[in-house]
Amino acid sequence: MRDPRSIVITGASSGIGAALAGLYAAPGMALALTGRDPARLEEVAERCRRAGASVTAGLVDAADREAMASWLTAVDAATPVDLVIANAGISAGTGGGVESEAQARRILSVNIDGVLNSIHPLLPAMRARRRGQIALMASQAGFRGLPGAPAYCASKAAVRVYGEALRGDLAAEGIGVSVICPGFVKSRMTAVNRFPMPFLVETDAAARTIKRGLERNAARIGFPWPMAAAVWLLALLPPGWTDAALTRAPKKG
């Protein structure tokens, strides 16, 4: 969508979400932002207001289905939503051990249920208007299961495939769907990584790439291209060829 005027961004208190909010902030723009940290969320909201945007900020847990539905319904009633960017997500690794059940369930809940909770309350109104756009935050990690981050990889694979399928279902109703697949992007999430992150992208550059992709309704917004190419090749190779190397690779803590 080239000219959205009402945008919802979840996970907007830091990282890519905050950068996207700042990039879209402008006079005449209505932004609805969610996040988990009240101080950081208000800082982002105030920065967007200074840029001329009208901002609604909500401390809503993306994994809370009822809270998200209530908040999003109110937002859409006030300013019909053109674009929702389901960006909220969490990440954690095994630290070289085995992922706990509790951690796996939390990651899957936030990263998958959070996406569903962010888009489905808005879909009926978008379908009735026959206009809108949905962007789902997946990852390059969603193309191959990587030792050290099983739940994270699984959650992003689910988001990617769900979005790709949803795109085909909603196209005839005037609703665009894009799946965003970043590599390593500077953020609070990647700051805890204690291993080399090839082709690390600055947050603002990532936001600009995403915005350009959404403007042309790209099916998949994957970047940076060297990482995307490497992951594509890795996903094509038989696991028996790559398991040994991946098992020896540094693990997310």
How much is the pLDDT for 133? 98
Q: Which two tokens stand for residue 242?
A: 């790559």
Q: Which CATH architecture has domain 6-248?
A: 3-Layer(aba) Sandwich (3.40)
- What confidence tens digit (pLDDT) does each residue in 172-231 have? 999 999 999 999 887 666 655 665 666 788 999 999 999 999 999 999 999 998 888 888
Please name the residue that has the structure tokens 């009240």: 38
Mean pLDDT rounded to a whole number for the chain: 90
The single residue of 71, 143, 152, 184 carrying the catalytic annotation is: 152
Please name the residue that has the structure tokens 């006079």: 27
pTM above 0.85, yes or no: yes
* Residue ranges, the chain, pLDDT below 70: 93-96, 187-198, 244-246, 248-253
Q: Which residues contact 205 (CB under 8 A, 6 or more apart)?
A: none
Strand, helix or coil at 240?
helix
Q: Is 152 an active-site residue?
A: yes
How much is the pLDDT for 228? 83
Residue 185: strand pairing partners: 201
